[in-house]
Amino acid sequence: MSAGQVALVATLAVPAVGASVVAALPSRADRAARLVGTVAAAVTLVVSAALYRPGDGGWFSFGPNPPAIRPWHDLDVSWASGLDLRFHLGVDGISYPLVVLTALLTLLCCGYTLWHVPDPGRGRLLTALLLAIEVGILGTFLALDLVLFFVFFEVVLLPMYAVIAVWGGPDRRHAARKFVLYTLLGSVLLLVGVFTVVSAAGTGDIVALTAANPLSRGTQLAAFTLLALGLAVKAPLWPLHTWLPDAHTEAPTVGSVILAGVLLKMGTYGLIRVAVGVAPEGARWAAPVVGSLAVAAIIVGSLVCLAQRELKRLIAYSSVGHMGFVMLGIATLTATGLQAALIGNVAHGIITGLLFFLAGAVKDRAHTGLLDDLGGLRERAPGLAGVLGFAAIASLGLPGLAGFWGEAFAVVGSLRRGGPLWSTLAAIAALGGALTAAYFLRLLRRVSHGPASPVVAAMPAGLARPELASWGPLVLLALAVGLVPALVLGMAHDPVQALTEVVNR
Partner 1 sequence: MSDLQLPHINYAALAPMLILFGAACAGILIEAFVPRERRYPVQLGLSLAGVVAAGVAVITQAGTRTITAGGAIAVDGPTVFLQGAILALGLVALLFVGERSLEAGGPFVAQAALIAGSEPDRRQVVRPGATEVYPLMLFAIGGMELFVAANDLLTMFVALEVFSLPLYLMCALARRRRLLSQEAALKYFLLGSYSSGFFLFGIALIYGFAGRVDFAGIHAAALGSDRSNALLYGGLALLSIGLLFKAAAAPFHVWTPDVYQGAPTPVTGFMAACTKVAAFGALLRVLYVAFDRVSWDYRPVLGVVAILTMLVGAVFAVTQTDLKRLLAYSSIANAGYLLVGVLAMSKDGLSSSMFYLVAYGFTVLAAFGTLTLVRDADGEANHLSRWAGLGRRSPVFAAAFTFLLLAFAGIPLTSGFTSKFAVFAAALDDGQTWLVVAGVITSMVLAFPYLRVVVMMWLSEPAESTPTVSIPGVLTSTGLAIGVAATLVLGLVPAPLLDLSTKAAEFVR
User: CA 295 to CA 284: how far, in whole Å?
Assistant: 17
Q: Given the complex with partner 1, which of 8 and 350 has the nearer CB atom?
A: 8
- Is residue 397 within 8 A of residue 403, CB to CB? The reply is yes
User: What residues are paired with 143 via a beta bridge?
Assistant: 89
**474 φ/ψ angles, rounded to the nearest 5 degrees:** -70, -40
Q: Given the complex with partner 1, which of 222 and 330 has the nearer CB atom?
A: 222
CA-wise closest residue to 279 among 182, 188, 198, 186: 198
Residue 213, SS3 per DSSP: coil
- Is residue 334 within 8 A of residue 499, CB to CB? The reply is no
Residue 345, SS3 per DSSP: helix
Report the b/e string of 219-239 with b at 16+ CB within 10 A.
Answer: bbbbbbbbbbbbbbbbbbbbe
Q: In angstroms, what is the minimal distance from the CB of 175 to partner 1?
A: 13
Q: Given the complex with partner 1, which of 168 and 369 has the nearer CB atom?
A: 168
Residue 85, SS3 per DSSP: strand
Q: Given the complex with partner 1, which of 181 and 457 has the nearer CB atom?
A: 181
Q: In angstroms, what is the minimal distance from the CB of 351 to partner 1?
A: 31
Q: Given the complex with partner 1, which of 194 and 311 has the nearer CB atom?
A: 194
User: CA 271 to CA 344: how far, in whole Å?
Assistant: 14
Q: In angstroms, what is the minimal distance from the CB of 151 to partner 1?
A: 4
Report the b/e string of 321-342 with b at 16+ CB within 10 A.
Answer: bbbbbbbbbbbbbbbbbbbbbb
Cα dihedral value 437, 467, 265, 424, nearest 10: 0
User: CA 166 to CA 128: how far, in whole Å?
Assistant: 13
Q: Given the complex with partner 1, which of 187 and 249 has the nearer CB atom?
A: 187
Q: In angstroms, what is the minimal distance from the CB of 305 to partner 1?
A: 31
Q: Given the complex with partner 1, which of 223 and 443 has the nearer CB atom?
A: 223
Q: Given the complex with partner 1, which of 187 and 395 has the nearer CB atom?
A: 187
- Is residue 374 within 8 A of residue 362, CB to CB? The reply is yes
Q: In angstroms, what is the minimal distance from the CB of 165 to partner 1?
A: 6
Residue 117, SS3 per DSSP: coil
Residue 65, SS3 per DSSP: coil
Contact positions vs partner 1 (CB under 8 A):
78-85, 147, 150-152, 154-155, 157-158, 162, 165-166, 173, 180, 184-185, 187-188, 191-192, 195, 198-199
CA-wise closest residue to 138 among 222, 298, 279, 258: 258
Q: Given the complex with partner 1, which of 70 and 234 has the nearer CB atom?
A: 234
User: CA 229 to CA 275: how far, in whole Å?
Assistant: 10
- Is residue 109 within 8 A of residue 254, CB to CB? The reply is yes
Q: In angstroms, what is the minimal distance from the CB of 445 to partner 1?
A: 39
Q: In angstroms, what is the minimal distance from the CB of 192 to partner 1?
A: 5
Q: Given the complex with partner 1, which of 141 and 422 has the nearer CB atom?
A: 141
Strands 85-91 and 73-80: antiparallel
Q: In angstroms, what is the minimal distance from the CB of 130 to partner 1?
A: 17
Q: In angstroms, what is the minimal distance from the CB of 152 to partner 1?
A: 8
Q: In angstroms, what is the minimal distance from the CB of 417 to partner 1?
A: 35
